[in-house]
């Protein structure tokens, strides 16, 4: 997902004097001004630009995959929405729509953790640590006495240039698998950083024989001038179900004159063709993805005055996954690999941050150099890259009919590695069609203790 994180506030150690704090603040102010000047004149992808230490997060980007499942009950809720064998057509259709509403609620529940929880805990967004190739992050949401069963996460940095994180989240008891990958490109405008997101998520409910394609919206980071950056979502994202139902989610933020931050409006249609007219909406959901939202039948915009509460992000506490102690982790696991860097960031020890980061980065450069010299190619641990241009003719990873092909056809979305939400026959509907997929066989061959 996007370059933001959820960690503790970065503050000076108790022994830091007020005089040194003032010096640090002045240095930070100067560094921030220099950073703004550097990104204003930078021509490449901003994700490759080195950020000043004081805006770094002690968390690696590979950890962000956990935000997809911090509400396990909502992720698994559709498995409970089933009909009896003797149910009539209308009852079955109504339950199918309820499942699409439930999947939409789960998706909305992921947005606060992904995009604005850092502002609440740290005062502003921080730049995450760039994962190294092969870095992994694993953990699990335990049963905790309910009937949900255990849900586990596998997250792996499958590419460094460009940076791409692939993930798989699975609940074996309920036969639910969420898998996908995220990459970004970024550019600078007058007052903000604009980010296009690549990749997608595929959500499979095996017992229901249903699957869902989920895309993410573009976003921009504002507050640069005031040195208090925050994320605002924009544009449109989609959820396409194999049962035909189609959710269109539009995002907007607080304008100069009016509007509330983190605003969205979602409409659910019987299919993508019906979405050509908003009047065809079966259900409309509206509100703030970081706060309260409301749901109503039809295409009219619901409100707190006359509609049912859909979701309240402020009262729905995120359930954090369990991660084993650092001393029990492998060297490639994120928190062990970045432990010394994270400690230096929390202490605001900028020299030590640079020193420890350089050790890791230089080690990675040596590994890549060795691979080039020996002709070896890096092998991913749990994921394969599937080439959809081959349409299964030469790529043994792709079995037809493929759910991704079917879902993109239903949604009229590009099959290519284009910015999320790109339509077929749009200017982005070309290039390569290589996408990352979870390999259960690789997981069995290369397990890791959770």
Residue, of 448 and 232, whose pLDDT is higher: 448
What span, in angstroms and rounded, lies between the C-alpha atoms of 194 and 146? 42
Q: Of 313, 319, 324, 326, whose CA–CA distance to 144 is shortest? A: 319
The burial of 347, by beta-carbon neighbours within 10 Å (0-12 exposed, 13-18 middle, 19 or more buried), is given as: middle
Q: Any idea which residue has 């699957």 for tokens?
A: 211
Evaluate whether 150 touches 172 at the Cβ level (below 8 Å).
yes
What span, in angstroms and rounded, lies between the C-alpha atoms of 49 and 42? 8
Summary mean pLDDT of the chain: 85
pLDDT (0 to 100) of residue 20: 34
pLDDT band at 18 (very low <50, low <70, confident <90, very high): very low
The SS3 call for residue 248 is strand
The SS3 call for residue 427 is coil
Q: Which of 67-81, 220-234, 385-399 has the highest mean pLDDT?
A: 67-81
pLDDT (0 to 100) of residue 230: 79
Name the pTM for this structure.
0.88
pLDDT (0 to 100) of residue 437: 97
What span, in angstroms and rounded, lies between the C-alpha atoms of 280 and 294? 19
Measured over the CA atoms of residue 18, residue 19, residue 20 and residue 24, the dihedral's sign is positive
As a whole number, mean pLDDT of residues 424-439 equals: 92
Instruction: Compute the radius of gyration of the chain from its Cα atoms.
Output: 22
Evaluate whether 429 touches 381 at the Cβ level (below 8 Å).
no
Write out the two tokens for 390. Answer: 């081959």
H/E run at residue 335: helix 334-337
As a whole number, mean pLDDT of residues 412-433 equals: 90
pLDDT (0 to 100) of residue 115: 87
CA distances from 359 to 328, 329, 349, 351, 406 (A): 22, 19, 16, 13, 46
Which of 112-116, 120-124, 260-264, 347-351 is the least confident region? 120-124
Residue, of 23 and 236, whose pLDDT is higher: 236
Write out the two tokens for 291. Answer: 């706060």
Phi-psi map region of 170: left, alpha, beta (phi>0 left; psi -120 to 50 alpha):
beta
Which of 94-98, 110-114, 142-146, 286-290 is the least confident region? 142-146
As a whole number, mean pLDDT of residues 75-99 equals: 96
What span, in angstroms and rounded, lies between the C-alpha atoms of 3 and 195? 9
pLDDT band at 367 (very low <50, low <70, confident <90, very high): very high
Long-range contact list for 331-336, CB < 8 A, 24+ apart? Answer: 332/134, 332/135, 332/136, 333/135, 333/136, 333/137, 333/138, 333/448, 334/60, 334/62, 334/63, 334/131, 334/135, 334/136, 334/137, 335/137
The SS3 call for residue 41 is coil
Q: Of 350, 329, 333, whose CA–CA distance to 341 is shortest? A: 350
Evaluate whether 269 touches 280 at the Cβ level (below 8 Å).
yes
As a whole number, mean pLDDT of residues 54-68 equals: 90
């Amino acid at each position: 997902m996007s370059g933001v994180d959820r960690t503790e506030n970065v503050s000076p150690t108790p022994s830091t004097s007020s005089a040194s704090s003032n010096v640090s603040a002045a240095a930070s102010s100067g560094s921030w001004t220099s950073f703004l000047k550097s990104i204003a004149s930078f021509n490449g992808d901003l994700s490759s630009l080195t950020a000043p230490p004081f805006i770094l997060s002690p968390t690696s980007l590979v950890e962000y995959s956990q935000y997809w499942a911090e509400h396990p009950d909502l992720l698994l809720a559709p498995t409970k929405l089933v009909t009896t064998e003797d149910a009539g057509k209308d009852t079955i259709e109504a339950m199918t729509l309820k499942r699409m509403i439930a999947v939409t609620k789960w998706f909305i529940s992921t947005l606060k953790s992904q995009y604005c929880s850092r502002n609440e805990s740290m005062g502003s967004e921080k730049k995450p640590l760039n994962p190294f190739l092969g870095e992994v992050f694993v953990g699990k949401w335990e049963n905790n006495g309910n009937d949900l069963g255990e849900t586990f996460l596998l997250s792996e940095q499958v590419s460094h240039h460009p940076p791409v994180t692939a993930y798989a989240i699975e609940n074996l008891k309920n036969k639910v698998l969420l898998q996908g990958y995220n990459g970004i490109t970024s550019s600078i405008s007058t007052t903000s950083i604009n980010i296009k997101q690549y990749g997608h998520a595929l959500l499979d409910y095996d017992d229901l024989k249903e699957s869902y394609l989920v895309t993410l919206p573009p976003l921009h980071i504002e507050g640069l001038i005031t040195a208090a950056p925050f994320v605002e979502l924009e544009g449109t994202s989609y959820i396409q179900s194999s049962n035909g139902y189609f959710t269109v989610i539009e995002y907007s933020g607080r304008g100069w004159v009016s509007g509330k931050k983190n605003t969205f409006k979602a409409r659910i249609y019987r299919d993508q063709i019906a979405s050509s007219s908003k009047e065809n909406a079966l259900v409309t959901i509206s509100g703030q993805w970081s706060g309260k939202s409301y749901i109503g039948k039809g295409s009219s915009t619901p409100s707190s005055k006359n509609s049912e509460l859909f979701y309240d992000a402020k009262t729905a506490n995120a359930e954090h996954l369990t991660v084993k102690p650092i001393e029990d982790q492998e060297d490639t696991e994120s928190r062990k690999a970045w432990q010394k860097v994270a400690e230096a960031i929390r202490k605001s020890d900028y020299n030590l941050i640079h020193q420890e980061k350089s050790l890791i980065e230089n080690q990675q450069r040596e590994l890549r150099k060795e691979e080039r010299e020996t002709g070896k190619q890096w092998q991913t641990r749990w994921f394969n890259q599937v080439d959809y241009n081959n349409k299964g003719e030469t790529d043994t990873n792709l079995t037809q009919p493929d759910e991704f092909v079917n879902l993109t056809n239903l949604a009229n979305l590009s099959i290519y590695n284009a910015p999320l939400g790109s339509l077929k026959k749009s200017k982005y509907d070309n290039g390569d069609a290589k996408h990352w997929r979870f390999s259960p066989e690789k997981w069995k061959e290369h397990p890791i203790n959770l």
